[in-house]
């Protein structure tokens, strides 16, 4: 498995049978542009687009990439219906607690503590369902958990008991999600990640700019922190 950070909460996941984009906020993502990345290259060969929630900095370029690539888009039911109204025709929908089979892998919607409405181009605030994390179980690869945007919560212990994820993608930027120190506590108290990859930092001036607090919080633990620069990859 190859995991490439595209800045903010956007990732490209490559396995032998699937090529996945998660939360492809790319066009207005300063970290993405600053790394010299382009949408055409990172969306090449994409089979699936997975969305944690409806905020613009997560839905991002989903509609155009889906149209260009023919990728299947997975989202909560409300967000999926809205994407359908925008012309996305290959949709898989679910909701918190549900598991959706997607060929060589499945995606389970977990809880996340956040919000999900979006002020769209028509000037109306649309409620786009509940925020989620996404638990990805692969046929022959490690289990990966993208937490979405969230704070720490005690039921994370149940998520770990049910799914036993090997890799955690963890929001650490503070203000809109948990900060680095709290995110590190969540990893240590509730999960047994072999590898934790921080995200949702460095994109905007008002969130934390580095992963230092997260790295410090997991120092000496059983979880290895992998913090690539935008465009960098982790192999698992």
b/e map 6-32, b = 16+ CB within 10 Å: bbbbbbbbbbeebbbbbbbbbeebebb
Which residue from 189, 187, 199 is spatially nearest to 224, judged by alpha carbons? 187
The three-state DSSP-derived secondary structure of 151-197 is CCCCCHHHHHHHHCCCEEEEECECCCCCEHHHHHHHHHHHCCCCEEE
Query: How big is the chain by its Cα radius of gyration, in Å?
Result: 16
Q: Residue 137 phi/psi, 5° resolution?
A: -105, 125
d(CA 107, CA 99): 6
Q: What is the pTM of this model?
A: 0.97
The percent of residues in the chain predicted with pLDDT above 70, rounded, is 100
The domains of the chain are located at 2-230
d(CA 75, CA 128): 10
> Per the CATH hierarchy, to which homologous superfamily does domain 2-230 belong?
Ribonuclease Z/Hydroxyacylglutathione hydrolase-like (3.60.15.10)
Q: Residue 119 phi/psi, 5° resolution?
A: -85, 110
Mean pLDDT for the stretch of residues 209-231: 98
pLDDT digits (tens, 9 = 90+) for 70-116: 999 999 999 999 999 999 999 999 999 999 999 999 999 999 999 99
Enter the tokens of residue 25: 């906020």
**Which pLDDT value is given to residue 122?**
75
- What single-letter DSSP state applies at residue 17? S
**Averaged pLDDT of the chain:** 97
Enter the tokens of residue 195: 């590898």
Mean pLDDT for the stretch of residues 44-63: 97
**Which pLDDT value is given to residue 124?**
78
Which residue from 22, 12, 32, 46 is spatially nearest to 148, judged by alpha carbons? 22
**Which pLDDT value is given to residue 189?**
98
């Amino acid at each position: 498995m190859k995991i490439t950070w595209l800045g903010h909460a956007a990732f490209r996941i490559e396995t032998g049978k699937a090529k996945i984009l998660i939360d492809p906020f790319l066009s207005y993502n300063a970290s993405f542009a600053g790394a010299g990345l382009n949408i055409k290259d990172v969306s090449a060969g994409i089979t699936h687009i997975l969305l944690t929630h409806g905020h613009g900095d997560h839905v991002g370029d989903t509609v155009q990439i889906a149209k260009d690539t023919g990728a299947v888009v997975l989202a909560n039911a409300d967000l999926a219906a809205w994407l359908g109204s925008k012309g996305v025709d290959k949709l898989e929908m679910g909701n918190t607690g549900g598991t959706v089979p997607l060929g060589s892998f499945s995606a389970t919607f977990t809880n996340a503590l956040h919000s999900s409405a979006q002020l769209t181009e028509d000037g109306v605030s649309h409620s786009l369902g509940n925020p989620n994390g996404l638990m990805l179980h692969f046929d022959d690869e490690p289990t990966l958990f993208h937490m979405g945007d969230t704070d720490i919560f005690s039921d994370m212990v149940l998520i770990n008991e049910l799914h036993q994820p090997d890799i955690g993608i963890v929001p650490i930027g503070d203000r809109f999600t948990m900060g680095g120190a709290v995110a590190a506590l969540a990893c240590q108290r509730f999960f047994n990640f072999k590898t934790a990859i921080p995200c949702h930092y460095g994109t905007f001036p008002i969130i934390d700019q580095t992963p230092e607090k997260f790295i410090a919080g997991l120092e000496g633990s059983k979880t290895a922190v992998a913090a690539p620069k935008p465009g960098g990859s982790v192999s698992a």
